[in-house]
Every structure is written in C-alpha cells, then in structure tokens.
Amino acid sequence: MNATLFPELTTSVIDAMKDAANPRLREIMTVLVRHLHDVIRETRLTEGEWAAAIEFLTATGGICSSTRQEFILLSDTLGVSMLVDAVNHDGGEAVTPSTVFGPFYSGEQDELPAGASILKRPEAGEPTLVSGLILDDSGTPIEGALIEVWQTAPCGLYDVQDHEQPDGHLRGSFRSAADGSYSFETVLPVSYPIPDDGPVGKMLRALGRHPNRPAHIHFMISAPGYRRLVTHIFVAGDDYLASDAVFGVKPDLIVHPTAHEDGMAIAYDFRLAGA
Ligand code: BEZ
Ligand code: FE
C-alpha cells in the first residue's frame, strides 16, 4: 500500500538526475532518494515531524566549528561511520580490524623515541606501558611504520576539549624498530562520554541512549606499501564494551592489561593489510 503512494514523484526526481555528469553521484543520489521517499511513505511522516527533522539538522550544522564536528558524532552514533568502515576495510582475518576515527585526531605529533611517555604533565591514572609489534598479514615485522596514538586524560577529555591540558597531551607519534616493535608509556585509558551538550546528545537522550564509550586508546598506523590502519585498543572489563555509543568495539581489539613492575602493561600486535 505504501509503495503505491505517489510513486511517479520518486520516478520524476530520479529521472531529473539522469544527466548528472558524475555517474557515481547519480547512482548514490538515486538510491538515497528512493530510500528517503520510502521512509516518508512507511512512517506516514507528519509535517511537524519533518519540520523537527529540519530543525535538528540545522542545529547540528549550527554547532559545528573548527573544534566541534557534530555531523561526525551523528554519523558515529547512528552506526553510519562503522558501516562505511566495514564496506571499505574488509581486511580478512589476518589483519587487525579497523574502527571509527572519531573527531579528536589533531594532526601528526613530533616523533618520540621508543618507550617515551605521551604525557605532557603528570596524571593520577594508572601508569601503563603499551608495547607490541607492527606486522604484515603473514606475520613479518614492518620496520619504520608511523604509529600515531591519542587518548583522553583520566578526566575523560581530550587535550583539544580541555584548555587546562597542555597541547599534545596524551598524543604521540612513534616509528616501529627493525624488529617491528613499538612501545610507549601512558596512563590506563578510562571510559568517557562523547560530547552530548548539542543536538546529538539531545537525540541520544530522546532515544533512551547513553553517550559513553568504553576505555580505549586510538591508533593510526601507516607504512609505505600497506593500507593505513585506523583503530583502537579497548580495555577488557569496561562497563560500556557491550554498549559503545558509537558501536566501535570489535572483539579482536579488546586487550587484557596485566600488572607490571610500575603499574600496568598492555601487549598488542597490529597486522597491516597490503596496499
Ligand atoms: C572518540 O573515540 O574519540 C570518539 C569517537 C566517535 C565520536 C566521538 C568520540
Ligand atoms: Fe576516543
């Protein structure tokens, strides 16, 4: 019944795009219009609801700035970012799974020597040594891979969200050694809420959802001849592993920190796919 509601309108909109110079744009817009029209047919969307949707999207754009990307939060919280990632990164079982990039990467940092700390001021968190190998999909070490890491402070905020933290705090760039090894000192990451003081936070509350992400450290690993890997490691036992607000958890990314002489140790090897 719904499928018969004004079908010629959908056909007309799709036909109107037939001369688009870019065939990929035409393909994507055709599917988008078809699905969007079907949402309206299936839900019998009211005029008030459509006005509310436009108001929501306007507010989402309105809060965006050079330090706040509400559309990334929207994409992440609706599972769109993880789906785009899945479509584009099916590396198979031999490589480390990827996950969301998130909005808090702030560019390449100065390279630090192996084993250096990524703290720029002391923190009360549990001192943690993170180490492992960068390998290819057959287990051969990759020398000279660029390993970029970032995480929040124990207060649950990234340096770019918190003026009290020094720039570059809890961020670092490292190079893998000839045997593929990398290591750095940090503090054990904590779970934290994504920014929820804007339209996306309002949407989460309206949907009965929480804004929290389980404790994690972000990694971006690049090496010539390999696909760049954007991923995290997540800490086992975290309360939010099963309900990450952005759906980014994959079982192979969960690590079990162990007690170490001066705190905790996390061991994790990354495997990169060939380019
Ligand atoms: C993050 O882990 O930094 C993040 C990811 C998605 C949305 C917000 C934050
Ligand atoms: Fe994060």
Calculate Rg over the CA atoms of the chain: 22
pLDDT in tens, 140-158: 999 999 999 999 999 999 9
Q: What is residue 248's DSSP assignment?
A: -
Whether the per-residue pLDDT at 93 is higher than 90: the answer is no
Among the listed residues 49, 269, 5, the one whose alpha carbon sits nearest the alpha carbon of residue 137: 269
State the pLDDT at residue 3.
53
Which protein residue has the closest C-alpha to ligand 1 atom 6? 102
**Torsion angle (degrees, nearest 10) of CA 197, 203, 204, 207:** 150
Question: Which band of pLDDT confidence, cut at 50, 70 and 90, is reported for residue 89?
Answer: confident
- Distance from C-alpha of 151 to C-alpha of 216, rounded to nearest angstrom: 7
192 lines ligand 1 (CB under 6 A): no
- CA–centroid distance, 101 to ligand 2, in Å, is 8
Closest ligand 1 atom to Cα of 150: 3
103 lines ligand 1 (CB under 6 A): yes
pLDDT in tens, 231-268: 999 999 999 999 999 999 999 999 999 998 889 999 99
Whether the per-residue pLDDT at 98 is higher than 70: the answer is yes
Q: Name which of 46-60, 87-101, 128-142, 246-260 the model is least confident about.
A: 87-101
State the pLDDT at residue 2.
52
Percent of the chain beyond pLDDT 70? 99
Which residues, listed in sequence order, are joined to residue 192 by a DSSP beta bridge?
Answer: 213
Percent of the chain beyond pLDDT 90? 95
Task: Tell me the CATH number for domain 74-272.
Answer: 2.60.130.10
- Tokens standing for 34? 């078809």
211 lines ligand 1 (CB under 6 A): no
Strands 216-222 and 254-255, how do they pair? Answer: unpaired
- Tokens standing for 223? 């090496």
246 lines ligand 1 (CB under 6 A): yes
Mean pLDDT of 96-115: 95
Amino acid at 24: R
More confident residue, 262 or 214: 214
This prediction has a pTM of: 0.94
Which protein residue has the closest C-alpha to ligand 1 atom 7? 102
- CA–centroid distance, 152 to ligand 2, in Å, is 7
